[in-house]
Structure 1
Amino acid sequence: MSDLGARASGQGRIFQTSGDQYIEEHHHHYDAGAGGPLFGRRLVSSTTAGPDAPDSVRMPLVGRVPGVLRNREELREVLGAAVAGPGGEVHVVHGMGGCGKTALAYWLFTEAVRDRSRVGFWVNASERMSLRAGLLAVAGDQGAAAGELAAAAAGQRAAADLVWHYLDRSSEPWLLVLDNADDPTVLEDGAWLRVSTRGTVLVTTRHATSTLWRVPGVRRHALGLLPLDDAAQVLCDLAPDAGDLESARRVAERLGRLPLALTLAGSHLAHQLLESWSMDEYDRKLGEESTAIVDGGAAGYGGSQSRHLVGQTWQLSLDALAGQGLPEATALLRLLSLLAADPVPLSLLAPVARGDIVAEGLQPAWTAAKLEPALRALLDHSLVELVDADGTRCVRAHGVLLDSVAARVPEGQRSVLTAATAELLEAALPEEGAETPDTVGRLALLAPHARSLLERAPSERSAALAVRTVRQVFDAGEFAAALELAPGIADRCETVLGPLSRTTLEARHTEAMALNRMGHYAESEALHRSVLERREAVLGPDDPDTLRSCYGLTWPLFLTGRGEEAEHWARRALDGQRRVLGDEAPETLYTWTNIIELLPYVGMEEEFEPEAAELLSVCERALPPDHLTTVVARHNYAEGLRVLGRYEEAEPLARRTLADYVRLQGADHPLSLSALCLKARIAHGLERFDEAVAVIREVIERRERVLGVEHPFITANREYLTEWQAEAQS
């Protein structure tokens, strides 16, 4: 772990989107060139992570919005005046899910940009990560430097202060929309929600009573259901040939005048192929109460009736598909409802299509021949959409739909669906210990779904799966992403399994490791000690997990200057692993490799050379070629030689190590950056000052992009640069 840096994941896929949005309408036509089976081609996961920032903050990244915004005249007048004026206000529009808050925000955004010459910013505020990423992108738009943004993203400076510093100094008036802020806690007690004389803030939320909405400068506006005539007109706008205004009134009343339900119903009526229901026929179908997918409602979010009716609207499409001989479409949508509202790789479903996985007890049973038509049917009925995620073909369903479906999965099928979903995710994850640059994109796509399965279907298996996923994200070098995931997963595991379960403790252990890699040494040490204490009490002092806690405690101690204490814990881990796992077990050897790094720092120079030579010999004999532990052993041997001033011996070993890391894990992996730093320090030791300065500049530039300007490694690297530049000039 010599001078080891961490790399912020840049995984936009690790967060999930929720909240009420309009569903975008897609019509799929499969010609001879594009009509091949969805699973009949090779699916390639992205080899690199996408950026944290959304694709745009200058455009409303929402789905389908109405061509005509019905009603809301009074509120539109108030909001229109706000963007026409000098600014300095926050407007909070609250209402039940699906009532049209996003559509209203879209109208105001267009009005502000097109007619009021304001700069418009649109940020998805449904989750902490999407809010943070979006607002940092706003700061970047307004002139924040890459180093400032990286520091904020890595937690090295106050992110909200940075964003509002640039918004308050904007050269142009602006409108900032924070859409779907349904959980006000993501606003961090108001740190992200402020008043500025340079612009107007609009918040859309289901939450009507947050104390954040009751502070000076914030105005609240309730958004309810549409009046009946306007609701009926929405249906007529979307399906003008399905019936007259009187028929539309009856359907609109039955749908509770909820804009989302009206939009879905109108789209369904307008785009039927095999049947052509009129408004009256649709009203009769709704009256039959033939739905199993209903939602009991969420406290404070608008009650059960509208959710029930929205569920009916979706269920009508599923009933129609069942009538066409495709009941598997319902089963597939129920499976998707256990996952996140993020892109689901088609490769995740491929084992079912191939017949490799069969969900025993599921009614109707899946078959390879039925899955593809079921998926195409969901696409055709706009219940899911086909999307591309960094080159990987995926399907995605609307979050409100998934919530509705998940809430009412029949109890007799929930355990079967949960087991099938877990099996699919387990099969889709890379093999443990085989994390490479090629698997980072796959992990980014799968991590939100593993977390969602734990949330929607908590069990020992789903908890173990979520913990395995976050551990693999960490092992892939995506330390910032692991730190985003681990606390929430650990909290959920603690609720489901208790604080002393092996799975919960593994989640906390991963959180502690990620804290250390991201430079939060004191927090890492405290959490490692807590996990170690609990593991010793529950599992015993020689359990492999307890010994891994001993090893984990080594690094926050070492990196805060307590080398002798660090060496003590590392030796305890190594001695125990030799007894329990064996002298040549990979985990034993990995702990030994890191002890080699400690020896020159704790006054054990004489032990260093023979122990390092013995370790390398054992690694090369006991492990496969190119095993990462062997490469780390060479790295730490080279680092020890450097510390002892034996630069000529260290240099070829360090160059080989760097080449191996780049080949095996990619040029931007934290280990590769650590080896690059070692190369610079050896060049300095050999008094090749110009080379040392050039390489350390590269290290600083690359680490700043992924760690932030205030990470301890960056601070040390800058000190090297200052010293070496002075030496080069003397």
Structure 2
Amino acid sequence: MSELGARASGQGRIFQTSGDQYIEEHHHHYDAGTGGPLFGRQVVPPAPAAPDSVRMPLVGRTPGVLRDREELRRVLGAAVAGPGGEVHVVHGMGGCGKTALAHWLFTEAVREHGRVGFWVNASERMSLRAGMLAVAGDRGAAAGELAAAAAGQRAASDLVWHYLDQSPEPWLLVLDNADDPTVLEDGAWLRAGGRGTVLVTTRHATSALWNVPGVRRHALGVLPLDDAAQILCDLAPDAGDLEAARKVAERLGRLPLALTLAGSHLAHQLLESWSMDEYDRKLDEESTAIVDRGASGYGGSQARHLVGRTWQLSLDALAGQGLPEATTLLRLLSFLAADPVPLSMLAPVARGELVLDGLEPALSAGQLEPALRGLLDHSLAALVASEGERCVQAHGVLLDSVRTGVSAGQRSTFAEGAAALLEGALPEPGVDSPDARGRLTLLTPHASALLAAAPGERTGTLAVRVVRQVFDSGDYAGALGLAPGIADRIESLLGVQHPVALEARDVEARALFRMGRYPESEALHRRVLGRRELVLGPDHPDTLRSCFGLHQPLDLLDKDEEAEGLLRRALEGQRRILGADSPETLLTWALLPEVLAQLGKEGEFDAEVRALTAACERSLSPDHFTAVGARHSIACGLWMLGRFQEAEPLAREVLADRIRLQGRDHPLALSVMYLTVLIARDLGRTGEAVETLKEVLERRERVLGREHPFVTPDRERLAAWQAEVQL
């Protein structure tokens, strides 16, 4: 110690002088393996600290009962019961239960099969290296050997595997959280050992490291619904029954981490005591952000143990690999539903046809595919097939938490980007084909989800367009399932008299009519018509559409004269406003012959048919929806007037057109098929009518439902006609 009381440590020195002195000292620092200093001994940096244990699973709170996974447990159980020499890789999204499965296998191997169990955190190089060297020490490596390996003076992985291969006891080595496969690849840490089994858990699904001989891959997904619900009941048995647990489990996407946190929350409440039903309502009100409140009861606040943060580990890793755009893409997807998103919906961005301005980080055309590949590689999304299209799909809880993390300043930008993607993917209005209906089936959930995530006029207008196209495609039950909720949300945002809200109610009223709920359809159409007259005026095209819509339930409620008056009002107004030959005017005109036939106005019927036929031939192609509809209406009118011989060939022509253009199960195809049944019966061909009616009945039950008003009369008519044929 100097007179000043200073003390040197390590290689430091104290200089004490009197008078004027000049001292110059040079320090040279060398990393291990760089050749060392020219003079004196080499200074070795300290080795990474060894883990507290490699003989115990370092998983925080020990998982409870492991639900499901029977087949995978059978395969892994057989591996630790056998001679060894296998490598198994379990991959899946964060929170799907990979570590819980590894913990189960570790316990099984140690307790049931007498294996030595080793558990190493493989999430980063330092922890992997320290853990593996500790394994070597456990298997007999000398202190000098370990020091040399730690100092870089001998190959560390060779040392570890030498002692594992020489182990007198069989073993199981778990390499947990190996989400960056390069950590294992650098240094060749992943090998198969003759006396042991290796289990790797990872979020990375597609690494080339998993495709080498001797490695078996196992994808881990979410739980079946009943098993997911049982986890909640296991953790919070007093919070509700299995049925209530099923609702919460489905809302949480059956993700084990989310279920565990939710169950922990329900079981450890003090000031509040929510039931599972109340928790389900809270999820609707506050989204899945409330799930992480269960972390304190679960015993962990690390990012991996929180649904709101576990995904960020993967996104940070992707950003570190030069793919910050993966975060942008996932944020875009988070404004859509947790349903398959067609890759064709993203393709315009990749081709440079659609530029999404203002996103942070920016998503350029050239970076879309690498960003998507990054999400797939890290199990943040998966490729699936749906409706004959390749799609990408992400988990709902993941999407909820990612969307919650989007800053307030960026939310509208991402919502607009998602709306642009969705709008560009929709079929053109008026296109009704099996392919278009399949595309609508894929896109419809995203319109509703986008409206819920970013409510506003833009997203409301888009949602109404989608539900209108669903209706026009013939999916009347689907349209009726969507329209009321969309209309309610838009009315709460924009008011009941806003044109977008009125359009949503118009679709709802038309769907009610097609589903046979005529009084409800009439009442809603009258309400919409009154509001449109008040807000838009009597001659606005939307008001005239309401006149057309209202005439339909009135027609089937035997209010024929009022129906005719409304239809003529719509037709005359459209001729003035839209033009006599516009497709919409012709569509309204196309239904007039049927109304005239119902009223017995045969002379007017014939005159209108001649004029309508000429107008359609002049303005429309034969396959145009309105042209086909006009021929359908004329065939119906001919049958109503008792002109069966004229009606039959036209009805069969229309049936062939409907089937060719819209498919055999389309409700309008079934309508004209039923018309051919009635014509055949009236022409005395009851046996033929019975056989066709059987097909109509079977298809209507499947398409419209057994409770549709058409179905019961069809069934009664079929029974009566069959009895006639048997006499």
State the TM-score, normalized to the length of structure 1.
0.63
> Structure 2 matches for 1:68-107, cutoff 5 A?
103=256
Identity of aligned residues (%): 55
Instruction: Compute the displacement of 1:62 (Å).
Output: 5.7
- Confirm or deny that 1:605 pairs with 2:677: no
- Quick check: 2:96–2:257 contact (8 Å CA) kept in 1? no
- Quick check: 2:474–2:666 contact (8 Å CA) kept in 1? yes
Q: Match of 1:434, SS?
A: coil
Equivalent-residue separation in structure 2 for 1:593 and 1:606 (angstroms) = 16
Partner of 2:628: 631
Q: Which string of whole-angstrom CA distances, capped at 9 and with x for unpartnered residues, describes residues 515-551 of structure 1?
A: 1101111111111000000000000000000000001
- Quick check: 2:228–2:246 contact (8 Å CA) kept in 1? no
Instruction: Compute the displacement of 1:224 (Å).
Output: 8.4
Partner of 2:525: 528
Partner of 1:237: none
- Quick check: 1:443–1:473 contact (8 Å CA) kept in 2? yes
- Confirm or deny that 1:622 pairs with 2:619: yes
Partner of 2:144: none
- Confirm or deny that 1:573 pairs with 2:570: yes
Equivalent-residue separation in structure 2 for 1:682 and 1:100 (angstroms) = 52
- Quick check: 1:532–1:550 contact (8 Å CA) kept in 2? yes
Equivalent-residue separation in structure 1 for 2:470 and 2:247 (angstroms) = 37
Partner of 1:207: 279
Q: Match of 2:579, SS?
A: coil
Equivalent-residue separation in structure 2 for 1:338 and 1:565 (angstroms) = 46
- Cα gap change, 1:412 to 1:695, in 2 (>3 Å): same
Equivalent-residue separation in structure 1 for 2:624 and 2:399 (angstroms) = 42
Partner of 2:471: 474
Partner of 2:57: none
Partner of 1:287: none
Instruction: Compute the displacement of 1:451 (Å).
Output: 1.0
Partner of 2:82: none
Q: Match of 2:642, SS?
A: coil
Instruction: Compute the displacement of 1:353 (Å).
Output: 0.9
Indicate which of 448, 452, 456 corresponds to 1:455: 452
Partner of 1:593: 590
Structure 1 range deviating more: 707-716 or 568-577: 707-716
Indicate which of 309, 314, 327 corresponds to 1:312: 309
Instruction: Compute the displacement of 1:625 (Å).
Output: 3.1
Q: Match of 1:207, SS?
A: helix
Partner of 2:508: 511
- Quick check: 1:512–1:524 contact (8 Å CA) kept in 2? yes
Indicate which of 197, 206, 211 corresponds to 1:29: 206
Instruction: Compute the displacement of 1:97 (Å).
Output: 11
- Confirm or deny that 1:418 pairs with 2:415: yes
- Confirm or deny that 1:354 pairs with 2:426: no
> Structure 2 matches for 1:54-453, cutoff 5 A?
61=224, 103=256, 207=279, 225=294, 231=299, 252-255=300-303, 261-262=304-305, 309-453=306-450
Equivalent-residue separation in structure 2 for 1:503 and 1:100 (angstroms) = 32
- Confirm or deny that 1:652 pairs with 2:656: no
Equivalent-residue separation in structure 2 for 1:319 and 1:524 (angstroms) = 53
Equivalent-residue separation in structure 1 for 2:393 and 2:253 (angstroms) = 21
One-letter amino acid of the counterpart of residue 642, structure 2: G
Q: Which string of whole-angstrom CA distances, capped at 9 and with x for unpartnered residues, describes residues 654-703 of structure 1?
A: 11000000000000101110111011111111111111121112211211
Partner of 1:196: none
- Quick check: 1:22–1:62 contact (8 Å CA) kept in 2? no
Equivalent-residue separation in structure 2 for 1:473 and 1:208 (angstroms) = 29
- Quick check: 2:487–2:501 contact (8 Å CA) kept in 1? yes
Equivalent-residue separation in structure 1 for 2:681 and 2:423 (angstroms) = 47
- Quick check: 1:429–1:442 contact (8 Å CA) kept in 2? yes
Instruction: Compute the displacement of 1:204 (Å).
Output: 5.5
Instruction: Compute the displacement of 1:580 (Å).
Output: 0.7
State the TM-score, normalized to the length of structure 2.
0.63
One-letter amino acid of the counterpart of residue 542, structure 1: D
Equivalent-residue separation in structure 1 for 2:412 and 2:292 (angstroms) = 38
Partner of 1:246: none
- Cα gap change, 1:89 to 1:97, in 2 (>3 Å): closer
Equivalent-residue separation in structure 1 for 2:503 and 2:251 (angstroms) = 39
Q: Match of 1:311, SS?
A: coil
- Cα gap change, 1:30 to 1:351, in 2 (>3 Å): farther
Structure 1 range deviating more: 531-540 or 454-463: 454-463
- Cα gap change, 1:224 to 1:482, in 2 (>3 Å): same
- Cα gap change, 1:74 to 1:721, in 2 (>3 Å): closer
Instruction: Compute the displacement of 1:404 (Å).
Output: 1.6
- Cα gap change, 1:26 to 1:204, in 2 (>3 Å): farther
- Cα gap change, 1:74 to 1:478, in 2 (>3 Å): closer
One-letter amino acid of the counterpart of residue 700, structure 2: R
- Cα gap change, 1:546 to 1:626, in 2 (>3 Å): same
- Cα gap change, 1:95 to 1:696, in 2 (>3 Å): closer
One-letter amino acid of the counterpart of residue 454, structure 1: L
- Cα gap change, 1:89 to 1:338, in 2 (>3 Å): closer
One-letter amino acid of the counterpart of residue 431, structure 2: A
Equivalent-residue separation in structure 2 for 1:583 and 1:696 (angstroms) = 38
Equivalent-residue separation in structure 1 for 2:597 and 2:329 (angstroms) = 59
Equivalent-residue separation in structure 2 for 1:208 and 1:471 (angstroms) = 31
More RCO (CA 8 Å, sep 6+): 1
Partner of 1:554: 551
Equivalent-residue separation in structure 2 for 1:413 and 1:93 (angstroms) = 35
Partner of 2:580: 583
- Cα gap change, 1:657 to 1:404, in 2 (>3 Å): same
Aligned-residue CA RMSD (Å)? 3.8
Instruction: Compute the displacement of 1:314 (Å).
Output: 2.2
Q: Match of 1:401, SS?
A: helix
Structure 1 range deviating more: 334-343 or 707-716: 707-716
- Quick check: 1:450–1:465 contact (8 Å CA) kept in 2? yes
- Quick check: 1:677–1:696 contact (8 Å CA) kept in 2? yes
One-letter amino acid of the counterpart of residue 496, structure 2: P
- Quick check: 1:528–1:549 contact (8 Å CA) kept in 2? yes
- Quick check: 1:94–1:101 contact (8 Å CA) kept in 2? no
Equivalent-residue separation in structure 2 for 1:712 and 1:601 (angstroms) = 20
Q: Match of 1:28, SS?
A: coil
Partner of 1:169: none
Number of equivalenced pairs: 502
- Confirm or deny that 1:691 pairs with 2:688: yes
Equivalent-residue separation in structure 2 for 1:612 and 1:680 (angstroms) = 23
- Cα gap change, 1:73 to 1:495, in 2 (>3 Å): closer
Unmatched runs of 5 consecutive residues or more in structure 1 = 1-19, 35-58, 83-87, 108-125, 127-179, 182-202, 211-221, 232-251, 256-260, 263-308
- Quick check: 1:22–1:64 contact (8 Å CA) kept in 2? no
- Quick check: 2:480–2:512 contact (8 Å CA) kept in 1? yes
Q: Is the radius of gyration larger for structure 1 or structure 2?
A: 2
Instruction: Compute the displacement of 1:402 (Å).
Output: 1.4
Q: Match of 1:712, SS?
A: coil
One-letter amino acid of the counterpart of residue 224, structure 2: L
Indicate which of 537, 542, 554 corresponds to 1:540: 537
- Cα gap change, 1:106 to 1:426, in 2 (>3 Å): closer
- Quick check: 2:432–2:473 contact (8 Å CA) kept in 1? yes
Instruction: Compute the displacement of 1:96 (Å).
Output: 11
Equivalent-residue separation in structure 1 for 2:719 and 2:247 (angstroms) = 54
One-letter amino acid of the counterpart of residue 207, structure 1: Y
Indicate which of 646, 663, 669 corresponds to 1:666: 663
